[in-house]
Amino acid sequence: MANPFEDLIQYCQSLATISSIQSVLAWDQETYMPKGAIQFRSKQCSWLSETAHSYWISDTFKRFLGNCIDLNSQEILIDSLTFEQERLVQELYKDWKKKTQLPTKFVGEYSALIAESTHVWQQAKDNNHYSLFEPHLAKLIEMSRQKAELIDPQKSCYDVLLDDFEPGMSMITVKELFSSLKEHVLPLLKRIQDLPMDFKLIKGPFNTNQQWLYTLDLLKKMGFDFDQGRQDKSSHPFTIDIHPTDVRVTTRLDQNLFFSGITSTIHEGGHGLYEQGLQKEYFGTPLAQAVSLGIHESQSRLWENHVCKSLPFWQGQFASIQSYFPDQFKDISAQDLWKQVNKVEPGFIRVEADEITYLCHIMIRFECECALFDGSLSTKDLPDFWNNRYQTYLGISPSSDSVGVLQDIHWSSGLFGYFPTYVIGSICAAQLFATLKGALPNIDTLIQTGDWLPIKDWLSTHIYQKGRVYSPNELIKMVTGKDISAQYLLDYLIEKYEDLYEVDLG
């Protein structure tokens, strides 16, 4: 006998197979694709996007979905479904409603624009040539406005875009959250940045081949499965989810930057573990998808900040680091590394920022996006706006657009509304880690000894395997007992920097 739910799952997995091919091409474009291939690649991406979208809006999918949920009342029609399976159908319905508002031709054109724009962005960044990228950025913003208008003309454009990454979040909510953070973070930054910190500075160069081998070792300790994933190099670290059995992460290595490759690898490794930990049997459905980008980011920030930037990490890894770099660490201690990697110092590069100034980087980008989408800022004036905000928040002004407005790949990928999820991720990471410390009272010992699998297992049970069953706040409340709250992050930052700077910041 026909099983409507199984029919729906199989159809979703066929659709997801098409999307997974898009992911492979996106990964290839950022790692190995020849520069001259971009025009044909944009055609490939456009065709795949149109094909995937045609699956979403087809009568076949509508029929399969309609056999499981009433498309008018949203009532579940199959009594035998479990709670998780009901939630799968409900989330698919939400996705379907959004997809059906977008014409297939528009989706193809938008995908082609993104493929070309990311390529042009890289050229512009490499050559410090913002004017090369600016026309593409203007067109991306215009098409994003069109997309939001098509999906929900009753909501503000930015709220529609934000909902793609952080369901239920609004621009007003983000502004309120950032405003409360600024009240505490900016005075904390002002107080800390001029405090002395005594440590021995490490000096390069640091052989990038040795860095590469060490980062692979770190991923293995985290529990990243190299039979179901790989690491490569890119100018901007990222993670691509092709399938739970095929997860690609990248890192960035520089012979003059020792910490950059380590933190990039562990950050992306956190994303990669989430993707590898999703339920394989439900591939292509909401049960095998992250609940939000903020929760996804919480996993990478937890590993990067609460594990990698902790003193037990450097104490435990010091001998290994010395074995990879015997000449550079003869007169350096683990505590020197801990202090240097955490030193609060305003800088231009977001991915290399300390945990306090990092929040400012995201607030600046959010303010840029708000101004771009409410029409008060043009793309031509964006660099000046950006530089002014850096002077206001961090007291520095970028020396070039390459380290300024061009440093992030996100806007070239059409990811507007994405940046706020980084702060939400930091907030949720602190809240989850506070709970994790209660579940694993010996966590400092685990971190120091390199026995990190219990951390991964706890996250797998409480986060990875839940998919999109619960909303972001529901998930955090279920795990921690509290609604999402910035107080955990503030408490963590104060405690951490009191230890680092040996002062009372209360």
Q: Which residues are catalytic?
A: 268
Amino acid at 27: W
Q: Is 326 exposed, middle or buried (0-12, 13-18, 19+ CB in 10 A)?
A: exposed
Q: Which helix (H) or strand (E) holds 136?
A: helix 130-151
Give me 182's structure tokens: 């600024």
Helices (H) and strands (E) in the chain, counts: 20, 3
Pair 483, 477: CB distance under 8 Å = yes
Q: Which residues pair with 239 in a beta bridge?
A: 249
Sheet holding 239-243: strands in order across? 229-233, 246-251, 239-243
What is the per-residue burial (b if ≥16 Cβ within 10 Å, else e) of 239-268? bbbbbbebbbbbbbbeeebbbbbbbbbbbb
| Beta-carbon contacts of residue 123 (< 8 Å; ≥ 6 apart) | 129, 132, 133
Beta strands 229-233 and 246-251 are: parallel
The strand pair at 229-233 and 239-243 is best described as unpaired
Q: How far is the C-alpha of 129 from the C-alpha of 277, rounded, in Å?
A: 40
- Kindly give, in sequence order, each residue whose CB lies less than 8 Å from that of residue 201, ignoring residues fewer than 6 positions away: 336, 340
Alpha carbon of residue 500 to chain centroid = 27
Task: Identify whether the C-beta of residue 448 lies closer than 8 Å to the C-beta of residue 316.
Answer: yes
Neighbours of 40 (CB within 10 A): 11
For residue 424, give every residue at least 6 positions away whose Cβ sits within 8 Å of its Cβ, in sequence order, or none: 166, 169, 177, 292, 293, 294, 297, 298, 472, 484
Residue type for 119, please?
A: H
Tell me the C-alpha distance between 252 and 348, whole Å. 16
Residue 324's identity, in one-letter code, is Y
